């Protein structure tokens, strides 16, 4: 029995080696150049990159590529655990994703899938993935997003990778201009004019992403969970919500709005009494998380937190313009309504 199992393992290893040799041996020789990734690694990449794989937080990584107008260069599909309508705008922007192989299982790479996809380069936010990909001889770039400003660093790195530095700079200018545009108004507010805001997954009783502390403040609110924490998630209890008494609650998906209003324990919370519970929008990614749509998050939240101050902002037009300008995708007003209502993120 042991000998049989060993023989099967040897055959599998031989098959992998043959496939790898075929990929490497048959690949044409391209001019190369060197780029430095966000781990400080110098990586040789083809002079012209047309095929890219994404492994790790795939929707986030894809959104960077979308913002350069290069959606068609992504060679892989979303991982199996990201199926369903929740991520449908990934496919609206990049229909070709549906035809791509799966190159990720769980949180790690599917080496056979990577070889099948044959990308020019893989984008990842995981150092272990880079080590695992080394044997495929396919270059991998490490990207990192810790601070809000890192999104611009990532975009400039990808602009260099795709030889689209002007497109990356255009996005960075839009990011800065939008934040400054909102800041010019909210920076005049007194502390007591900024509502207490809770961004939360009420079903799990957690504030899921630290970056929400940034966009809530930038949009003219005061996050009740902003205690200087280091970790991503912040867990809390119903008792804590009552003590905070948030004036605005932003939930992670549309069905949670009804959950919040129907929860008798929350009946006396200001946001419930004043009907100020909203679902975070979701386009190619959840706007409350890290996404290139972050400037839109700030604009949307500013209208929610300070409706009179931002009454002149047509957020629907802003969304359509963003998708057309950066994602090179025209979306309908119905699509915009779906995004802004958080309906794309409704499935669990």
Q: Average the pLDDT over each of 62-66, 106-110, 138-142, 335-339 and give the range with the smallest value.
A: 106-110
Max CA distance (Å), the chain: 76
pLDDT at residue 338, as a whole number:
95
pLDDT band at 7 (very low <50, low <70, confident <90, very high): very low
Q: What angle do CA 211, 81, 229 make, to 5 degrees?
A: 20
Distance CA 64, CA 48 (A): 18
More confident residue, 82 or 249: 249
Measured over the CA atoms of residue 22, residue 25, residue 31 and residue 32, the dihedral's sign is positive
Domain range 15-167, CATH architecture: 3-Layer(aba) Sandwich (3.40)
Higher pLDDT, 281 or 105: 281
* pLDDT surpassing 50 at residue 207: yes
Please give the mean pLDDT across all residues of the chain: 89
Q: Within 13 Å of residue 174, how many CA atoms lie on the same side as its CB?
A: 23
Which residues belong to CATH 3.40.50.1980 in the chain? 15-167, 182-345
- CA-atom Rg of the chain in angstroms: 22
Tell me the C-alpha distance between 176 and 269, whole Å: 35
For residues 88 and 344, the answer to whether their CB atoms sit within 8 Å is: yes
Task: Report yes or no on whether pTM surpasses 0.85.
Answer: yes
The rounded distance, in Å, linking the Cα atoms of 302 and 194 is 10
In this structure, whether the domain defined by 182-345 belongs to CATH 3.10.20.740 is answered with no
At residue 182 the predicted structure's pLDDT band, cuts being 50, 70 and 90, is: very high
Cα separation, 342 vs 140, in Å, equals: 33
> Does residue 315 register a pLDDT over 80?
yes
């Amino acid at each position: 029995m042991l000998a049989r199992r060993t023989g099967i393992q040897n055959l599998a290893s031989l098959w992998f080696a043959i496939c790898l040799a075929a990929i490497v041996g048959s690949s044409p020789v391209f001019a190369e150049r060197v780029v430095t990734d966000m781990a400080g690694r110098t990586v040789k990449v083809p002079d012209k990159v047309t095929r890219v794989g994404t492994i790790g937080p795939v929707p986030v990584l894809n959104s960077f590529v979308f913002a350069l107008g290069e959606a068609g260069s992504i060679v892989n599909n979303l991982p199996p655990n990201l199926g369903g309508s929740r991520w449908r705008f990934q496919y609206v922007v990049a229909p070709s994703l549906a035809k791509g192989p799966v190159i990720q299982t769980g949180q790690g790479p599917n080496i056979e899938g990577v070889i099948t996809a044959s990308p020019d380069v893989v984008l990842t936010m995981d150092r272990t993935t880079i080590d695992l990909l080394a044997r495929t001889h396919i270059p991998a770039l490490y990207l990192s997003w810790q601070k809000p400003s890192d999104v611009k660093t990532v975009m400039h790195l990808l602009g260099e990778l795709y030889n689209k530095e002007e497109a990356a700079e255009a996005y960075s200018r839009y990011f800065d201009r939008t934040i400054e545009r909102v800041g010019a108004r909210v920076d005049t507010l007194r502390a007591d004019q900024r509502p207490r805001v809770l961004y939360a997954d009420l079903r799990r009783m957690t504030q899921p992403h630290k970056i929400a502390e940034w966009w809530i403040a930038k949009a003219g609110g005061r996050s009740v969970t902003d205690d200087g924490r280091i970790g991503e998630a912040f867990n809390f209890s119903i008792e804590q919500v009552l003590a905070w008494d948030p004036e605005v609650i932003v939930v992670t998906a549309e069905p949670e709005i009804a959950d919040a209003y129907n929860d008798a324990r929350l009946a006396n919370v200001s946001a419930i009494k004043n009907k100020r519970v909203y679902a975070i929008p979701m386009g190619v990614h959840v706007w409350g998380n890290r996404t290139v749509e972050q400037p839109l998050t700030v604009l949307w939240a500013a209208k929610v937190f300070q409706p009179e101050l931002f009454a002149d902002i047509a957020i629907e037009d802003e969304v359509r313009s963003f998708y057309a300008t950066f994602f090179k995708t025209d979306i309908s007003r119905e699509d915009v309504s779906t995004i802004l209502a958080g309906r794309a993120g409704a499935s669990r």
